[in-house]
């Protein structure tokens, strides 16, 4: 079921995912199915299931977004404060 966004600038959703995520999940499911049937390798299927779980959106945010923001805050964009005593 396609849900039209309340705000016209909001991203379109399909179920609990954005349309971009649905496309990524669909393509990765096809690649995972081919890897499972032809090679007997199931790790792409696990990665697809993990991505589909992490990209579920509630109130315009997902767990994947939270992980990205947290890693940017704690790892890549850390702030360094130096304290000096002025006499």
User: Does 5 score more than 90 pLDDT?
Assistant: no
For residue range 27-63, list pLDDT tens digits in order. 999 999 999 999 999 999 999 999 999 989 887 788 8
Domain boundaries, the chain: 2-76
Task: Retrieve residue 8's tokens.
Answer: 């016209």
pLDDT of residue 32: 96
Containing H/E element for 67?
helix 63-71
Task: Retrieve residue 50's tokens.
Answer: 């993990």
For residue range 20-37, list pLDDT tens digits in order. 899 999 999 999 999 999
What is the model's pTM? 0.70
For residue range 67-84, list pLDDT tens digits in order. 988 888 888 877 677 788
């Amino acid at each position: 079921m396609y849900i039209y966004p309340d705000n016209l600038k909001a991203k379109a959703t399909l179920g609990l995912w954005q349309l971009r995520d649905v496309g990524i999940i669909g393509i990765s499911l096809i690649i995972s199915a081919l890897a499972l049937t032809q090679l007997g390798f199931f790790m792409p299927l696990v990665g697809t299931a993990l991505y589909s779980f992490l990209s579920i959106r509630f109130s315009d945010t997902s767990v994947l977004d939270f992980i990205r923001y947290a890693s940017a805050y704690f790892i890549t964009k850390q702030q360094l404060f130096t304290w000096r005593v002025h006499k």
